[in-house]
């Protein structure tokens, strides 16, 4: 009898304790699971490694691809611009060759280093390299901005903030594209929407040379904030890790692969109750501590680019309306 009572007591303790166990993604309703990678700046191997590891950029991209392939049950990979450091055919071909070994579809968008003003590939030539691929995923409408729906519940709207008219690190989204965005949001009003754009709409840190120019930044932000089904904005460009929530929307700045902290993000979107949705951000440093240390040691802004601990890994809950 004592033994039976003891076993019952232990069972009750286990049941009680289980209600306090940490939340696990696999125990919830996983809506989407993907990777964001950005600012790979693929360059030639004879270039010097400094703050930006140009000479090792091919190795870093290859290592990132290998790590991504080890993550189970991914839906896709999102690359948010500056795929190459210069928009040359050889570099773009090499980027495609390396990423073709991914086990999952990859969706790419333009960064300022991906377009040429004087020589090299301009926008039309760059996007053609991707929409001409067999089983193409990106720019399939033959425009520099497009959308895709990885599931019945989600649509990603990939915007183009670049220009091939003038050399600049500033972003700009023209009125024609803003009108297209409005139409896409209206067409997807019954879905959750994530905006992907190389340039952050809200800066992870202040920069006089990298921000989206006014008035297009305010126009874009007003459109985003006026649609409750827009859950997040995913960006790169600043090479900095930053995660924050404003007006029930997540602004996610992803770190660069080519520069310290040399990492990418794994994102799992979950729903544990009808009124909330959860974004779980997981941090993946690219292989090679020695290379990461070299970039850090050559950087005066490494504290900005690495962010705080909550900028690297965080679980953010949003309210659904």
For residue 223, being part of any structural domain is answered with yes
- For 311, list phi and psi in degrees, rounded to 5: -85, -15
Q: 223: how many CB neighbours lie within 10 A of its CB?
A: 18
- Report the pLDDT value the prediction gives residue 4, as an integer from 0 to 100: 45
The answer to whether the Cα torsion of 292, 294, 297, 299 is positive or negative is: negative
pLDDT at 2: 44
Q: Is residue 12 part of a domain?
A: no
Q: Does the residue 108 lie in any domain?
A: yes
**Cis amide bond preceding 215, omega within 30:** yes
User: Which residues, including other chains, have CB under 8 Å from residue 31's CB and lie 6 or more apart?
Assistant: 151, 153, 154, 192, 269, 270, 271, 277
Supply the pLDDT for residue 120.
Answer: 75
Q: Are 98 and 147 in contact (CB under 8 A)?
A: no
- Which pTM does this prediction carry? 0.91
Tokens of 284: 């993946």
pLDDT in tens, 257-294: 999 999 999 999 999 899 999 999 999 999 889 999 99
Q: What is the mean pLDDT of the chain?
A: 92
Query: Is the alpha carbon torsion for 221, 153, 157, 264 positive or negative?
Result: positive
Residue 22 lies in a domain: no
Q: Residue 251: inside a domain, yes or no?
A: yes
pLDDT in tens, the chain (321 residues): 444 444 434 343 333 333 333 344 444 599 999 999 999 999 999 999 999 999 999 999 999 999 999 999 999 999 999 999 999 999 999 999 999 999 999 999 999 999 999 877 899 999 999 999 999 999 999 999 999 999 999 999 999 999 999 999 999 999 999 999 999 999 999 999 999 999 999 999 999 999 999 999 999 999 999 999 999 999 999 999 999 999 999 999 999 999 999 999 999 999 989 999 999 999 999 988 999 999 999 999 999 999 999 999 999 999 998
CATH number at residue 102: 3.60.21.10
Q: How far apart are CA 188 and CA 15, in angstroms?
A: 43
Residue-level pLDDT at 287:
87
In a domain, residue 138? The reply is yes
Q: Give residue for tokens 């309306």.
A: 321
Give the domain extent around 248: 27-319
As a whole number of angstroms, the distance between CA 99 and CA 65 comes to: 7
Domain tally for the chain?
1
Model confidence pLDDT, tens digit, residues 147-179: 999 999 999 999 999 999 999 999 999 999 999
- What is the Rg, in whole angstroms, of the alpha carbon atoms belonging to the chain? 21
Assess if residue 7 is contained within a domain: no
* Residue 206, domain member (yes or no): yes
CB atoms within 10 A of CB 169: 14
Q: Which of 275, 265, 240, 274 is nearest to 315 (CA)?
A: 265
N-terminal to C-terminal alpha carbon distance within the chain: 54
pLDDT value at residue 28: 55
């Amino acid at each position: 009898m004592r033994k039976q009572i003891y076993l019952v007591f232990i069972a009750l303790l286990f049941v009680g304790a289980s209600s306090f166990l940490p939340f696990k993604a696999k125990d919830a309703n996983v809506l989407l699971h993907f990777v964001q990678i950005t600012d790979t700046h693929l360059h030639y191997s004879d270039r010097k490694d400094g703050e930006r590891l140009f000479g090792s950029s091919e190795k870093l991209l290859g290592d990132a691809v290998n790590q991504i392939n080890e993550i189970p049950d991914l839906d896709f990979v999102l690359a948010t611009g500056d795929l190459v450091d210069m928009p040359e055919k050889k570099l773009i071909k090499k980027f495609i060759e390396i990423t073709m070994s991914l086990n999952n579809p990859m969706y790419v968008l333009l960064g300022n280093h991906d377009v040429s003003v004087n020589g090299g590939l301009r926008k039309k030539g760059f996007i053609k390299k991707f929409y001409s691929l067999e089983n193409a995923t990106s720019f399939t409408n033959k425009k520099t901005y497009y959308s895709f729906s990885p599931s019945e519940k989600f649509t990603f709207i990939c915007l183009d903030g670049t220009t091939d008219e003038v050399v600049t690190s500033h972003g700009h989204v023209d009125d024609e594209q803003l009108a297209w965005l409005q139409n896409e949001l209206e067409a997807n009003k019954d879905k959750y929407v994530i905006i992907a754009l190389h340039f952050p709409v809200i800066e992870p840190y202040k920069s006089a040379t990298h921000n989206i120019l006014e008035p297009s930044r305010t126009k874009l932000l007003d459109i985003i904030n006026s649609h409750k089904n827009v859950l997040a904005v995913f960006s790169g460009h600043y090479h900095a890790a930053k995660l924050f929530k404003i007006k029930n929307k997540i602004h996610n700045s992803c770190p660069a692969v080519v520069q310290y902290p040399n990492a990418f993000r794994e994102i799992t979107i979950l729903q544990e109750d009808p009124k909330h949705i959860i974004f779980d951000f997981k941090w993946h440093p690219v292989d090679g501590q020695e290379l990461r240390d070299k970039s850090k040691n050559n950087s005066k802004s490494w504290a900005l680019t690495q962010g705080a601990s909550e900028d690297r890994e965080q679980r953010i809950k949003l309210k659904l309306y």
